Amino acid sequence: MRHPIRPIHVLPLLASALLIPLAMAARAHDNAEAKPVSPIYGVSLPDGYRQWELIAPAVESEPLNELRAVVGNSKAMQAYRRGALPFPDGTVLVKLAWQRTPSSEFAPASIPGPATTVQVMIKDSRKYAATGSWGFGRFVGGRPVDEAQHRTCFACHEARVKAHDFVFTRFAP
């Protein structure tokens, strides 16, 4: 004998089918907004930046004694390859830095030691008009450093590389 489906039995299933995806979407939205952002600029670590192309490596001598690598998103890479300045809006540059450590296998070489900072520059001429169209973020252990350190970012870039659209890094083809 068939049992008729009563509307009262379907409602809990229908409610579950609708509410669970909504709750999951809300949780994902909350997690996306929970990314740490830099003071002043509101810059966060970009998704997938560790897979971006290398623009150039660098060595910072004393006092920091760091090995560095600068990577860029596709807009940055296109601009570097064209030799185009200023960089277009949407350009994102990320500098990764590690303590420079002597290699135990090859004495003249240095290798990356512990990570020190990840620094981000984002080009947005409207949002960052007051700072040469660039927003800055400096992160240690995935967390932004304090506001005082972020206040030094643009001043340093403006004093030294204003003629190169406030960017230190040159492309190493």
DSSP secondary structure letter of residue 52: S
Phi, psi of 70 (to 5 degrees): -110, 130
Residue 25 has pLDDT above 60, yes or no: no
Half-sphere exposure of 170 (CA within 13 A, CB side): 3
Phi, psi of 134 (to 5 degrees): -115, 140
Token pair listed for 109: 């070489």
What radius of gyration, in Å, describes the C-alpha atoms of the chain?
Answer: 23
DSSP secondary structure letter of residue 158: H
Report whether 25 contacts 18 (CB < 8 A): no
Residue 71 has pLDDT above 70, yes or no: yes
CA distances for 130 relative to 77, 120, 148, angstroms: 25, 17, 17
pLDDT (tens digit per residue) in 27-61: 544 555 579 999 999 999 999 999 999 999 999 99
Token pair listed for 112: 């990356």
Longest Cα separation, the chain: 86
- The pTM is what? 0.80
Over range 76-87, report the average pLDDT: 96
User: In this prediction, what percent of the chain has a pLDDT beyond 90?
Assistant: 77
Q: Report the residue count for the chain.
A: 173
Residue 2 binned pLDDT confidence (cut-offs 50, 70, 90): low
Sign for the pseudo-dihedral over CA of 134, 140, 145, 149: negative
Per-residue HEC secondary structure of 62-93 comes to: CCCCEEEEEEECHHHHHHHHHCCCCCCCCCEE
